[in-house]
Amino acid sequence: MDSSYQSATRLALALREGECSAAALLDETLARVDERNPAINAVVATCREDARSRAREADAAAARGELWGPLHGVPMTVKDTYEVAGMPATAGAPRFRDHYPQGDAVAVQRLLDAGAVIYGKTNTPLFAGDLQTYNEVYGVTCNPWNPGRTCGGSSGGSAAALAAGLTPLELGSDIGGSIRTPAAFCGVCGHKPSYGVIPKRGHIPGPPGTLARVDISVAGPMARSVADLELALGILAGPDPAEGVGWQLHLPPARHQRLSDFRVAAWLDDPACPVDADVVSVLQELVAWLRTAGAEVDTQARPEGIELASSHATYYQLLTAAMSGGLSPRVFAGMLEQAEAADPDDDGYAAAFARGATQRHADWQRADERRQHMRRAWQAFFGEVDILLCPVVHTPPFPHDHRQPMAERRLAVNGADRPYMDVLAWAGLAGVVYLPATVVPAGYTPDGLPVGVQIVGPYLEDYTALAFARHVEALTGGFAVPPGYGEAPS
């Protein structure tokens, strides 16, 4: 069996039925890493002998009739922001180059308990803090569709590894589109769960050993199929063990199964963050396909009182506060000076970050209150519709640009010069209000670059977003192998 682009679901079945062994499957995967990874630099650390030992143990257990779980013997990688015992966990930071944790992140432990064979870590930007993937520890990760373009970030190594056939499943994280943007840029699938559904303990940032829950930030699965996202969500979702003594999580089933039963809204462009015409064209074509297939799509429906500009402003204020906890005292002091020196009328991203990172708690509380009113508006909106379709990011994959500081970078959109940090706007629409969002391939630009669609669902109704994503996947054909990387299995 050619395992290059088989799904995790299919590989798990093949292992259970004895079509292949875990040891052989791992060796095939590692051979592909040796062949394909040098061109893209997605997998940046491996634990080959430990993984081989675990694969042999999986085979021995299977021979005894023991099944560890739904991922028994399946090889995979995880983003290098998660702690995995015996492997480096750098989060792209030179200061953590030699950080080898003694234990596993909660989400990693759940994958291991399900039987996964974790063989490697995938690249991320410095402290997972960019929508491109590069750092001083491991270098730049390239997009398999075009090495001159970014793979996205911060789960960029995860998405690139999936697209190149180096892993069937990945564990990413997302606070500003870090699962969704790389999935869109690399033509794979990703799911940002409802906030709090999957524990983040053992994730960097914050600093190693952090126990506090970070606002907005979530852990979530990435794969090449929606079926694998659903499989992984079922494994990963649940309370932190410390809370599981008293709390249990039961995500409701999807509202509908038939496409024609879904009430769909589409928000495809907005003056506050104009979307590249090629991206809009792909999304408009998807809406046309959905209508032809029997779905009702309303392109005018919006949550009452929600505008992209004001939503983004609240999101960015809360985002910068969430990110400030990991700042060193020296950096935080510099932010204080920058915030105090900034012109009060300066609404640029640099000044906004400094103000947000150093804001008073009372200011944060006022922003959170605005957020709670926004959540109520979204709740009412999802009483009238089941799904919102919107862009993941306002541009296709763009050329690598690692100039610092990020707030001074620019991106051309429809011939106009736009702030680089606008890459957060469409992702923040769902993130700030804790909503689940699934990304699947929607099509391609005229020059062959992938475009994804963001499928936003009601809070804690992750399976509704995933169920609709299955229909989109069927209409668009889902994942396609990048040129030069072989063929998808029949």
Note the pLDDT tens digit of each residue in 423-479. Answer: 999 999 999 999 999 999 999 999 999 999 999 999 999 999 999 999 999 999 999
The CATH number of domain 8-259 is 3.90.1300.10: yes
Ranges of beta strands (E only) in 132-208 are 134-135, 139-140, 142-143, 146-150, 169-174, 189-192
Q: List, for residues 342-384, the tens digit of each pLDDT value.
A: 888 888 899 999 999 999 999 999 999 999 999 999 999 999 9
Enumerate the CATH 3.90.1300.10 domain ranges in the chain, comma separated: 8-259
Q: List, for residues 238-274, the tens digit of each pLDDT value.
A: 999 999 999 999 999 999 999 999 999 999 999 999 9
Query: What mean pLDDT do residues 96-114 have?
Result: 97
User: Which amino acid, 159?
Assistant: A
Residue 72 in contact with residue 58, Cβ under 8 Å? Answer: yes
132: Cα within 13 Å, side-chain hemisphere: 22
Give the alpha-carbon dihedral of 208, 210, 211, 215, to 10 degrees: -120
CA distance 233 to 253: 13
pLDDT of residue 490: 61
CA distance 56 to 117: 10
Counting residues of the chain whose pLDDT is more than 70, the rounded percentage is 100
Q: Is the pLDDT of residue 397 over 80?
A: yes
Residue 275 in contact with residue 268, Cβ under 8 Å? Answer: yes
What crossing angle do the helices spanning 8-16 and 48-63 adopt, rounded to 10°?
A: 50
CA distance 294 to 289: 9
CA distance 381 to 143: 36
The rounded Cα 145 to chain-centroid distance in angstroms is: 18
Q: List, for residues 412-431, the tens digit of each pLDDT value.
A: 999 999 999 999 999 999 99
Please give the residue that has the higher pLDDT: either 166 or 329.
166
Mean pLDDT score across all residues of the chain: 97
Q: Is the pLDDT of residue 325 over 90?
A: no
CA distance 388 to 382: 9
pLDDT of residue 347: 83
Residues 6+ apart with CB under 8 A from 447: none
CA distance 197 to 158: 20
Residue 434 in contact with residue 215, Cβ under 8 Å? Answer: no
CA distance 468 to 455: 8
pLDDT of residue 345: 84
Q: Within 10 A of 300 (CB to CB), how many other CB atoms are there?
A: 7
Class of residue 50 by CB neighbours under 10 A (exposed 0-12, middle 13-18, buried 19+): middle
Query: What mean pLDDT do residues 107-123 have?
Result: 98
Q: List, for residues 158-193, the tens digit of each pLDDT value.
A: 999 999 999 999 999 999 999 999 999 999 999 999
Helix (H, G, I), strand (E, B), or coil: what is residue 450?
strand
Apex 376 CA angle, 374 and 380, nearest 5:
115
Query: What mean pLDDT do residues 213-233 have?
Result: 98
Query: What is the sign of the dihedral through the CA atoms of 169, 171, 177 and 181?
Result: negative
Of 68-82, 83-97, 247-261, 325-339, the one with minimum mean pLDDT is 325-339
Q: Is the pLDDT of residue 47 over 70?
A: yes
